[in-house]
Amino acid sequence: MFANDSDNYGWFSIALHWSMAVIIIGLFWLGLSMVELDYYDPWYNRAPAIHESVGLLLAAMLLLRLLARLLNPPPPPLASLHSAERGLAITVHWLFYALILATITSGYFISTAGGTAISLFDWFELPAALGDYPQQEDIAGLWHERLAWSLVVLAALHGLASIKHHFIDRDRSLRRILGL
């Protein structure tokens, strides 16, 4: 089933969910790896270019996911959940979207400091919005790191919650996002 229904996520939502999760983990790992590179490392210029391009693809996926959510709402949280859990589930999903958007935005401000455009895999360039704001790269870099860590910690808690729901509560939360 392609679309969401009242009980399950559709394949489109499932594919977006898991592909974005893999991309976020990959970007986080690449970001951590990049700070260790020195000028003479062959990845010194290539890794940031890949990180930026994949980050832009993630931005497009986030917009697609939000549009899909408006056109094809997700199934509501399971009725078996306590009201606090249902509210938390909804809040966490919107917090994910906000953190992803904020992380991408701060990354954009790092990459465009000094007025440089970002190239998307050499297909086209996204121009700088701010130009040369004083300490733009440093301020955005600090926020980018904090936001990325917050996103990964939230993802880990989200994963642990899904395992708890599957093995302890024995509900369908995890199976719904796996398409089972």
Burial of 56 (0-12, 13-18, 19+ CB in 10 A): buried
Contact 179, 14 (CB under 8 A): yes
- Over residues 68-75, mean pLDDT: 94
Q: In whole numbers, what is the pLDDT of the chain averaged over residues?
A: 94
For the CA atoms of 105, 23, 75, 162, what is the dihedral angle to 10 degrees?
A: -110
Per-residue pLDDT of 148-177, as tens digits, reads: 999 999 999 999 999 999 999 999 999 999
Please give the Cα distance from 145 to 151 (Å, whole number). Answer: 10
- Over residues 64-69, mean pLDDT: 96
CATH number of 11-178: 1.20.950
Q: Residue 95 above 90 pLDDT? A: yes
Contact 68, 17 (CB under 8 A): no
- Over residues 110-132, mean pLDDT: 89
Per-residue pLDDT of 97-119, as tens digits, reads: 999 999 999 999 999 998 989 99
Please give the Cα distance from 121 to 59 (Å, whole number). Answer: 14
Global confidence as pTM: 0.93
H or E stretch at 118: strand 118-120
